[in-house]
Structures are given as structure tokens and as C-alpha cells.
Amino acid sequence: MDNNHELTLKELVVPNVVYQPWCVQYLENQVNYELKFGLIHLLPKFHGLAGEDLHKHLKEFHVVCPTMRTQGVIEDHVKMKAFLFSLDGAAKDWFYFL
């Protein structure tokens, strides 16, 4: 057996996140833009806890995102980039394992 194909037990158990595709496919954008640090902190946080209301989080997210929009950038592009920053804790872990 070739040495390159022999993996340790640890390597077999741990997923290789470098080669896994993202569940989110970003749209092609002609305009370069960045999300400002101060605006990212304005985003509501969803932790994925049992008592949290996901629908309330999404409503708040949709209210805040238009304030982050830059000239020439479609609002949906901003939402796609900003959504990950609105997740924390178990919700962010869930997102990474989609």
C-alpha cells in the first residue's frame, strides 16, 4: 500500500475542512466592498439556544442589513456576506457543518 494513502485514525475521524465546499455559494459581484467592523457589531446575534426565536433574529437581521449597504452593492450581496457574522456559538458550529 502506498504511504500517501495510509491515514492515521485521528486523520480519518477529523473532517478535512480545507477541501469541503461551502454550503453558501456567493454571487459574482462586480463591485469590491468590505463590511465595516463597526457595522458588523450592529448585527443581531443568534446563538442557537433553545429559548431563542429564529424568526425574530431574521427580522432584526433584515432591518439592520440595509444600513450596511454601500453604493453600487446589491442588498442581497451584503446579506450573504453578513449572515455568518450574525451567528455565534452553536448556531455558527451548525453553519460550518452544513
Domain range list for the chain: 28-97
Q: How far apart are the C-alpha atoms of 15 and 31, rounded to whole Å?
A: 34
Given the C-alpha cell 426565536, which residue does it identify?
A: 53
Q: Tens digit of pLDDT for each residue in 27-68? A: 666 667 788 888 889 999 999 999 999 999 999 999 998 888
* Residue 52 pLDDT: 95
Q: Which grid coordinates belong to 86?
A: 450574525
Question: Strand, coil or helix: what is 31?
Answer: coil
Q: What is the mean pLDDT of residues 82-96?
A: 91
Query: Which residues are bridge partners to 1 per DSSP?
Result: none
To the question of pTM greater than 0.75 for the whole model, the response is no
One-letter amino acid for residue 22 of the chain = W
Q: Tens digit of pLDDT for each residue in 57-79? A: 999 999 998 888 778 888 888 88
